[in-house]
């Protein structure tokens, strides 16, 4: 921890000393909303925020895959959008991973649809189609896919689930003091909504050209493999572990049909858990590689910035 504690303290010591704050998991500035999706409560004397940068089990890196730059394709339709570029739907849009992924796909020629609680149901200044949705309510997902189809004339060939939720325990000394209601709410965001999104994607892909690559990417982390001994991370870890299973199963059973499901997990080069040190542009670059369905990349698509797919078996 000594390697990164100093720089982390430099960023957060004033805020922690001043009292409890809500911090984005992506390390951005404090916010005041009580919503816990993508946020972490930091108590005055907590070292959790520092551990997020440093904690992880050192694992051996055995495989690295370098993948060529992807190419886009257009779909000819009879709608108001003839010969339009394929659509990527990003579910959960934040200032780091979501923003970087959207920019990367835009630069590669994709049309962009975004869904989040702050969606406007209109075009953004960047030309993205913004949709309002609350992933704590899985029943909202069918409406999101319908809105994309209505706007662009056809379904998204790429669906990226980037939302996440956690609720810290009411008693910091007892991880099991998280209420059952909070566990259920966070499971909706971390497991049920992405599952419903995958169901919707599967049905939508049947309407696209047969030769179009269809891809579902879930932004994961190492919690499906590593136990992170930090009580505030429990609900997030439950969700990541559960979703990793159904994503792996779906990829195994649908791969022959040309559909790929990926659990994307950025790591440090030594295999350590990245925590709040995730790199947004690295996600954008890697996700563009994944939509090409590169050979040798399994459903558990661990990666390192600048290296692409890296196995830590």
- 41 strand-pairing partners: 22
Fold type of domain 59-311: Rossmann fold (3.40.50)
* Residue 84: DSSP 8-state: B
Q: Please state the separation of Cα 239 from the chain's center in Å.
A: 12
Residue 190 has pLDDT above 80, yes or no: yes
Tokens of 152: 């662009």
Please tell me which residue in 51, 213, 240, 272 is annotated as part of the active site: 240
The pLDDT score that the predictor gives to residue 313 is: 82
Query: Over the stretch 21-65, which tens digit does the pLDDT of each residue have?
Result: 333 333 333 333 333 333 333 333 333 333 333 333 334 444 444
The average confidence (pLDDT) of the chain is 81
pLDDT interval class at 239 (50, 70, 90): very high
The pLDDT score that the predictor gives to residue 73 is: 53
The secondary structure of 266-283 as a DSSP string is EB-TTS-B-GGG--HHHH
For the chain, give every domain's residue range: 59-311
Q: Match 């892909």 to its residue by tokens.
A: 205
Instruction: Give me the percent of the chain exceeding a pLDDT of 90.
Output: 71
Q: Match 């495989």 to its residue by tokens.
A: 63
Measured CA to CA, the distance from residue 278 to residue 283 in angstroms comes to: 8
Alpha-carbon separation of residue 254 from 125, 215, 243, 257, 295 (angstroms) = 37, 11, 16, 5, 15
The pLDDT score that the predictor gives to residue 160 is: 99
Of residues 137 and 15, the one with the higher pLDDT is 137
Q: Are strands 63-65 and 111-116 parallel, antiparallel or unpaired?
A: unpaired
- 132 strand-pairing partners: 116
Residue 240 known to be catalytic: yes
The pLDDT score that the predictor gives to residue 83 is: 53
């Amino acid at each position: 921890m000594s390697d990164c504690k100093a720089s982390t303290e430099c960023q957060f010591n004033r805020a922690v000393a001043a009292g409890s704050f809500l911090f984005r998991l992506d390390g951005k500035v404090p916010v005041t909303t009580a919503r816990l999706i993508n946020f972490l409560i930091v108590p005055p004397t907590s070292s959790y925020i520092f551990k997020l940068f440093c904690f992880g089990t050192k694992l051996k890196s055995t495989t690295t895959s370098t993948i060529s730059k992807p190419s886009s394709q257009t779909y000819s339709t009879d709608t108001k959008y003839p010969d339009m570029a394929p659509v990527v739907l990003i579910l959960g849009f934040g200032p780091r991973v979501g923003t970087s992924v959207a920019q990367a796909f835009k630069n590669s020629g994709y049309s962009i649809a975004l869904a989040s609680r702050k969606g406007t149901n209109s075009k953004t200044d960047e030309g993205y189609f913004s949709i309002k949705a609350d992933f704590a309510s899985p029943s909202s997902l069918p409406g999101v896919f319908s809105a994309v189809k209505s706007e662009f004339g056809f379904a998204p060939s790429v669906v990226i689930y980037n939302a996440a939720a956690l609720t810290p325990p009411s008693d910091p000394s007892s991880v099991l003091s998280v209420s059952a209601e909070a566990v259920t709410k966070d499971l909706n965001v971390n497991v049920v909504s992405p599952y419903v999104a995958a169901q919707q994607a599967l049905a939508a892909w049947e309407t696209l050209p047969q030769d179009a690559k269809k891809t579902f990417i879930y932004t994961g982390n190492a919690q499906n493999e590593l136990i992170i001994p930090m009580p505030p991370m429990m609900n997030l870890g439950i969700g990541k572990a559960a979703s990793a299973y159904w994503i792996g199963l779906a990829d195994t059973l649908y791969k022959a049909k040309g559909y790929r499901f990926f659990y994307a997990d950025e790591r440090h080069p030594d295999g350590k858990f990245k925590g709040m040190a995730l790199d947004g542009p690295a996600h954008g670059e890697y996700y563009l590689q994944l939509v090409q369905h590169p050979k040798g990349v399994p459903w558990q698509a661990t990666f390192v910035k600048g290296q692409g797919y890296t196995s830590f078996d």
